[in-house]
Structure 1
């Protein structure tokens, strides 16, 4: 039987004493947490361990003795350490000793209360107590290769060290009957100040949470990208300002990721705002906007004139072609008149819109998306008119095609049933089918052109929203933590052999394997409001072919009309 003893490397120079920690019987392992120095009273040690166990809910006990012969030269020390096993009565009693400057340690076990003691092979594993305490072990997927079982064994070790923070608050320099050696936790005073600030900020956080919930409810009622993003960020502020303590490591990391994401978002927004208001860039942008709108309108007018002729040599229905062309030209004329009417106020509008960048770069990008939507509203209207007219003809042709085959659509049962038609119905159906069929190419051409223009606008808005989603969802704090403190996000451990000699225990060094960057992003990615359609590519192509309207701003889970 192999006994694994996890020994903190920070205790390698500790004075002689006793080892306290946790015994994992199912793994035949012992996790040493600290060394209690001489002199001490056994009753006080048991009382202290009982108090710590009550606070941490970790079963702590005296595991054995530790002898540092370099510092302790007294005779009979080894016998005294062995006698402590009868007082604390732990089976097996672990004896670890360091002999001078030798790199080989001795580690043995005693079983005084066993009638047939067995010789156990001991493996001494060193671990960095500070890194193990601060790290969070991420369990791997259960693939059937035993990794999940090994991770559960390691999680018991990580959990033991992490939950023993109360034990690390007392060290060898504190006044009291118990003197301990372990990893010394730093920043205790700072943590006390932070806790006091948290307690005093509870009323302010409650008031801020109430105000944010009201504003968030107002923002949800609008379909503008800006209001959606503001509502999303307000929900983040509610999470940060909440006085509810994070229960798990995942919740704590989520709060930290949201806070860093908000901080960097606002910083980038302020940089953008400072760039816009420098060298009168707002005025130059306003002066450029009207000529660009006129140029787009001229290009659309030339496109409509081309469609009203013989586009690509195609023979179109001239009457319908002229009606549709003049209808769309009139819309362009109305839109240009509206833009020129608003031209004196555009610079002032842009000046106030630029101030919104202080709310974050994502808010500024959403405002840009809404501005593009407003400036291309005439293209959207063209797309809706063309799609509705094309959809009407497609459904009319499909219904009349069923009439020729002696079929009809049963509305109650939602299926196609057989039906007999008289001669008049067939004549009218044939006449309508012929009219719709010969008018379809003209309508389909207008629908195709305006759908392509609409898709071009949607692609530009989609790229903007992809950037917004990237900023919203990227776990920046976790990535920074992975870069600077890789041991905080542990994917597992690896063991390195230090020394091995016959008659001496095998000495291993436990090192933490950090989580990969891809796994960090996948594990701690923040949810977004995601304004992209949930349809597949096949469904989108089907809707485009049938002329059904596509709403890219529909949220996940919402039913599309």
Structure 2
């Protein structure tokens, strides 16, 4: 039988005393958490362990004794051996270390049912004659890293806790993490017991962190009050009317405001983040919000420095006139003989003049708004103080408003083209003696008379010869619409990246890689004759791609509604497409 002892590196040179830890249930292994130094009173040790068990919920016990002989302590080993009768255990470990050697010597004292002791030395001698010899392996670990790290499942996944017990390694990590109350006792405490653990030289603390914890309480109360006021304002009946509700659901700025409101509710929640997922979610939201506001302040400082807003306002009108001129030239080209194609002149002239009229309306609208453009940009730039995502969302809404005429052109062309496509497909079924059954949603056979076939042939001929003209206008305005949608998609993806990227988790992965562990690796630390085998346990950090996948903050994200094949099919038949949409994600 192989007995594994997980031993903290900070206790390698601890003074002689008792090993406090936990036996791992279902495995032949034990986790050493601390060493209580001699002198001590056994009754006080038992009371202290019971108190730590109540605070941590870990089944702590005295695993055995630890001996580091010094001058004047020759009889210490025999005294520690006798302590096994005071702290009765089925298995008592007597670990000792000789000065000048790295390896430990471990004697395992087993008790039978009659209470008699049987000693077996677990020394690494490979003696095949002693078949019942206990083989001990010491696994050294860095206690602070194991306590702060979160062990994630490997590619094979964690076992089902309802059917299978957790793995040995996971129990070790959980034991060390939940034993924090045991680590509060250090050498500076005026108490009857002295112990060695990772904080034995003084508890690790930060004055800045403690001050932030104290200041976070009134700050959370203030944020909660402001959120309650904002919720009350949004619940006013006038904002729930259909036009305003419809506009707020389509404007990216309104959606971003509601998204950040949910984030502020999460951060200001009085419920502490006990679980690891809750803590990481709050950390990612907080860091993302701070980075977002920092980038927004930088953008705002650039906008209001050297009068850049006035420059942008002065550039907007010439740009709008240039776009209108290019569109007029494009329509004039389409109304002639584009690329040598012969179009239906009557329909071509009607469509061209119809779209030219819309361009003149749009230019008139822009010139009417020109005196207010600088003011709109000036006040709109202030939204950057709320974060770069607000500025990008506002820019997306402004692009949508400024290119509304292109959207109208696309809708007109798509509807007309779609009408002709569906008309041609319906008339094509007529020639084959088929019809579309609306009730059963399928194509059925049908018999037509001569008059129906004549009218169908006439309509099919008219739609077929008018299709090239309509298709050309649809193709041109669809390409223009796709250019606008592509630009808005880049803005939406940028906002989504800032909102969802787990900056806090990625920072832990880069600067504290042991905090997010995927597993461990072992290497031989010491293999001296006459001592047990010693291994060093090192933590394997998560891959960066796995960190992003696991801790990505859910957002309203912009995702394609359909697959690429479905998108191409819709473009071919003339159905309206909205590739970028807001996807509501409910977060616990």
TM-score above 0.5? yes
Specify the alignment match of 1:65 in structure 2.
65
Q: Do the aligned residues in 2 keep the contact of 1:205 with 1:243 (CA within 8 Å)? A: no
Change (3 A) 1:306 1:189: closer
Deviations 1:455-477 (A, max 9, x none): 01111111111111111111011
Q: Distance in 2 between matches of 1:124 and 1:478?
A: 32
- Candidates 170, 181, 186, aligned match of 1:171: 186
Change (3 A) 1:138 1:211: farther
Specify the alignment match of 1:155 in structure 2.
170
Displacement of 1:91 after TM fit? Answer: 2.5
Displacement of 1:202 after TM fit? Answer: 6.0
Secondary structure of the corresponding residue to residue 88 of structure 1: coil
Displacement of 1:448 after TM fit? Answer: 0.4
Displacement of 1:27 after TM fit? Answer: 1.8
Secondary structure of the corresponding residue to residue 508 of structure 1: strand
- Candidates 527, 534, 542, aligned match of 1:515: 542
Specify the alignment match of 1:545 in structure 2.
572
Secondary structure of the corresponding residue to residue 558 of structure 2: coil
Specify the alignment match of 1:104 in structure 2.
103
Specify the alignment match of 2:293 in structure 1.
266
Q: Do the aligned residues in 2 keep the contact of 1:17 with 1:66 (CA within 8 Å)? A: yes
Specify the alignment match of 2:349 in structure 1.
322
Q: Distance in 2 between matches of 1:200 and 1:462?
A: 40
Change (3 A) 1:422 1:525: same
Secondary structure of the corresponding residue to residue 292 of structure 2: helix
Matched, 1:79 2:67: no
Q: Do the aligned residues in 2 keep the contact of 1:213 with 1:238 (CA within 8 Å)? A: no
Deviations 1:64-106 (A, max 9, x none): 0011113x63232111100011111112211111212322322
Q: Do the aligned residues in 1 keep the contact of 2:355 with 2:409 (CA within 8 Å)? A: yes
Change (3 A) 1:367 1:200: closer
Matched, 1:180 2:195: yes
Specify the alignment match of 1:27 in structure 2.
27
Matched, 1:402 2:429: yes
Displacement of 1:178 after TM fit? Answer: 2.1
Secondary structure of the corresponding residue to residue 534 of structure 1: coil
Q: Distance in 2 between matches of 1:257 and 1:215?
A: 28
Specify the alignment match of 1:210 in structure 2.
228
Q: Distance in 1 between matches of 2:75 and 2:485?
A: 85
Q: Distance in 2 between matches of 1:216 and 1:28?
A: 61
The number of aligned residues is 554
Displacement of 1:277 after TM fit? Answer: 0.7
Deviations 1:165-219 (A, max 9, x none): 1111112321222221111141177766565555556643542442454567769
Matched, 1:93 2:128: no
Q: Do the aligned residues in 1 keep the contact of 2:434 with 2:444 (CA within 8 Å)? A: yes
Specify the alignment match of 2:13 in structure 1.
13
Q: Do the aligned residues in 2 keep the contact of 1:139 with 1:151 (CA within 8 Å)? A: no
Matched, 1:505 2:532: yes
Specify the alignment match of 1:340 in structure 2.
367
Specify the alignment match of 2:266 in structure 1.
239
Displacement of 1:164 after TM fit? Answer: 0.4
Change (3 A) 1:482 1:355: same
Please, what TM-score do these two structures have when normalized by structure 2?
Answer: 0.90
Deviations 1:5-34 (A, max 9, x none): 111111122211000000114221110001
Q: Do the aligned residues in 1 keep the contact of 2:227 with 2:261 (CA within 8 Å)? A: no
Change (3 A) 1:408 1:490: same
Q: Distance in 2 between matches of 1:445 and 1:313?
A: 13
Cα RMSD (Å): 2.2
Displacement of 1:309 after TM fit? Answer: 0.4
Displacement of 1:251 after TM fit? Answer: 1.2
Q: Distance in 1 between matches of 2:547 and 2:165?
A: 21
Superposition pairs of residues 527-538 of structure 1, within 5 angstroms: 527-538=554-565
Specify the alignment match of 2:124 in structure 1.
none
Matched, 1:354 2:368: no
Matched, 1:494 2:493: no
Question: Unaligned stretches of 5+ in structure 1?
Answer: none
Change (3 A) 1:3 1:186: same
Displacement of 1:254 after TM fit? Answer: 0.8
Q: Do the aligned residues in 2 keep the contact of 1:362 with 1:471 (CA within 8 Å)? A: yes
Q: Which of 372-381 and 202-211 deviates more?
A: 202-211
Q: Do the aligned residues in 1 keep the contact of 2:493 with 2:558 (CA within 8 Å)? A: no
- Candidates 284, 309, 314, aligned match of 1:287: 314
Displacement of 1:344 after TM fit? Answer: 1.0
Q: Do the aligned residues in 1 keep the contact of 2:34 with 2:197 (CA within 8 Å)? A: yes
Secondary structure of the corresponding residue to residue 222 of structure 1: helix
Matched, 1:369 2:396: yes
Specify the alignment match of 2:149 in structure 1.
135
Secondary structure of the corresponding residue to residue 26 of structure 1: coil
Secondary structure of the corresponding residue to residue 266 of structure 1: helix
Displacement of 1:150 after TM fit? Answer: 12
Secondary structure of the corresponding residue to residue 139 of structure 1: coil
Q: Do the aligned residues in 1 keep the contact of 2:221 with 2:268 (CA within 8 Å)? A: no
Change (3 A) 1:51 1:195: farther
Displacement of 1:52 after TM fit? Answer: 1.2
Specify the alignment match of 1:435 in structure 2.
462
Q: Distance in 1 between matches of 2:209 and 2:410?
A: 60
Deviations 1:284-311 (A, max 9, x none): 1000000011111111000000000000
Q: Which of 422-431 and 373-382 deviates more?
A: 422-431
Secondary structure of the corresponding residue to residue 58 of structure 1: coil
Secondary structure of the corresponding residue to residue 111 of structure 1: strand
Specify the alignment match of 2:125 in structure 1.
none
